[in-house]
């Protein structure tokens, strides 16, 4: 909160709570979709942390906003967009156990995307360590490459979409039930 707990009583012209904003990324162009995303986003809060991940394992990334003055705000992604995806859990053997620092490159539908395996990202928050990649209309990834911190490279072809996978460094890409 504010350094003065009763700032609203002392100075009504000073505000520090703000509405939560949500943006939609369409190939690098962002549009504010807050107004159409439900009443929870209209509630002003003092957001101090953000954790993202697929909290309900439905293939869509959700977000948890930490309100320093109240309860956390879970933004459950129930969007109707039918895009495909894949999610990877990395297990290091020569690299660190969680695969942090590994670069995952996925090619699907003519687009190549690179993701870094990490769980950090926001103030006092830890996000899902799984690497989630949206594939759009592509029903599979043509190529998935993992460059581990140890220097090892694991590569796979024709990886089916809409699935969770586990990869042990140097091993096979294994479907994981969720």
Q: In this predicted model, what pLDDT tens digit does every residue of 14-67 receive, in sequence order? A: 567 788 888 988 878 999 999 988 888 888 888 889 999 999 999 999 999 998
Q: Residues 160, 82, 26, 21: is their CA dihedral positive or negative? A: negative
pLDDT-based confidence at 4, cuts 50/70/90? low
Give pLDDT tens digits for 147-170.
Answer: 999 999 999 999 999 999 999 999
The verdict on domain 84-175 having CATH code 3.30.710.10 is: no
Mean pLDDT of 136-147: 98
Sheet-wide strand order for 153-160: 111-116, 103-108, 140-147, 153-160
Left if phi > 0, otherwise alpha if psi is -120 to 50, otherwise beta: which for 27?
left
Residues 6+ apart with CB under 8 A from 178: 57, 164
Mean pLDDT of 76-101: 94
Alpha-carbon distance 154 to 142, whole Å?
A: 14
Exposed, middle or buried: residue 87 (CB in 10 Å: 0-12, 13-18, 19+)? buried
pLDDT-based confidence at 11, cuts 50/70/90? low
Question: Per mean pLDDT, which range of 2-16, 67-81, 105-119 is the poorest?
Answer: 2-16
Domain limits, CATH 2.60.40.10, in the chain: 84-175
Map residue 99 onto helix, strand or coil. Answer: coil
Mean confidence (pLDDT) of the chain: 90
């Amino acid at each position: 909160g504010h350094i003065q707990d009763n700032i609203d009583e002392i100075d009504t012209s000073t505000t520090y709570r703000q509405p939560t904003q949500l943006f939609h990324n369409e190939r690098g162009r962002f549009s504010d979709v807050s107004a159409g995303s439900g009443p929870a986003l209209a509630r002003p809060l003092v957001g101090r942390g953000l954790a993202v991940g697929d909290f309900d394992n439905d293939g869509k990334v959700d977000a948890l906003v930490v309100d320093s003055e109240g309860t956390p705000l879970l933004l459950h992604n129930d969007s109707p967009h039918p895009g495909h995806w894949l999610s990877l859990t990395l297990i290091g053997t020569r690299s660190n156990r969680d695969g942090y620092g590994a670069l995952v490159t996925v090619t699907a539908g003519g687009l190549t995307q690179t993701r870094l395996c990490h769980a950090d990202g926001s103030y006092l928050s830890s996000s899902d360590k799984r690497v989630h990649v949206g594939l759009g209309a592509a029903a599979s990834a043509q190529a998935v490459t993992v460059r581990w911190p140890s220097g090892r490279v694991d590569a796979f072809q024709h990886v089916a979409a809409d699935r969770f996978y586990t990869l042990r460094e140097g091993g096979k890409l294994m479907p994981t039930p969720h």
